[in-house]
Chain A
Amino acid sequence: AQSVTQPDIHITVSEGASLELRCNYSYGATPYLFWYVQSPGQGLQLLLKYFSGDTLVQGIKGFEAEFKRSQSSFNLRKPSVHWSDAAEYFCAVGATGFNQGGKLIFGQGTELSVKP
């Protein structure tokens, strides 16, 4: 069965520091991978997605993620974190039959805090 693991429940970084949020997935075929961000009390917003091609994908708000098939990972990165990036981040993988129904399986989430 497909699954997504985000090993870090909570991460704190200083403003201006770099950020990497980890995501590991379990999926037999080429995965469809997503990162979403959720600000407090809000719904989820799509940051970026990977379907195929270039393994380094760029997203909104200065985020990028790299797909590494050998490590079954899709880690999210940002070179310099801003206080407004404090939020919860979710990694997701498209489940079997994604093209015909679009089910996504989400990780547990990583809460990001930013120190001044």
Chain B
Amino acid sequence: NAGVTQTPKFQVLKTGQSMTLQCAQDMNHNSMYWYRQDPGMGLRLIYYSASEGTTDKGEVPNGYNVSRLNKREFSLRLESAAPSQTSVYFCASSPSRVGYTFGSGTRLTVV
């Protein structure tokens, strides 16, 4: 019973490099989310997918793209990483309004 799995757990990128953060859930949840966490700012929504085949922008989508590959997987891509994208990224899933299940996070540093 893995819940929400994020890979990788840690990553260091150089400015301008690209990478994809992977997220998979095994709970058959419809909705999935990507948040970033920065000190003193709480969690801010980047993108979300209310159901398979749909994606929508959140509060801070600039510089990111997402793909809802299937019901289980929701990936976040940084096309050209910038130091301002240094953060901890959390993926979450939810069946409906009962609340989220979070992954353990990806700590990304852009130098």
Residues of A within 8 A of B (CB): 4, 6, 9, 32, 34, 36, 41-46, 49, 51, 90, 94, 98-109
Contacts and interface: CB of A to CB of B under 8 A. Distances in A.
A108 B50 contact: no
B103 A102 contact: no
B43 A90 contact: yes
A108 B99 contact: no
A101 B42 contact: no
B38 to A, nearest CB: 10
B56 interface: yes
Nearest to A4: B42
Interface stretch (B13-21, B60-68, B76-84, B89-97): B89-97
A18 B32 CA distance: 36
Contacts of B94: 102
B40 interface: yes
Taking each of A32, A101, A107, which has the highest tally of chain B beta carbons within 10 Å of its own beta carbon? A101
Contact of B42 (A45, A49, A100, A106): A106
A41 B100 CA distance: 18
A9 B40 contact: yes
B99 A43 contact: no
Contact of A106 (B43, B98, B99, B103): B43
Nearest to A42: B104
Contact of A44 (B44, B58, B98, B102): B102
Contact of B50 (A49, A102, A105): A102
Nearest to B98: A49
Given A100-B50, A103-B48, A108 B100 contact: no
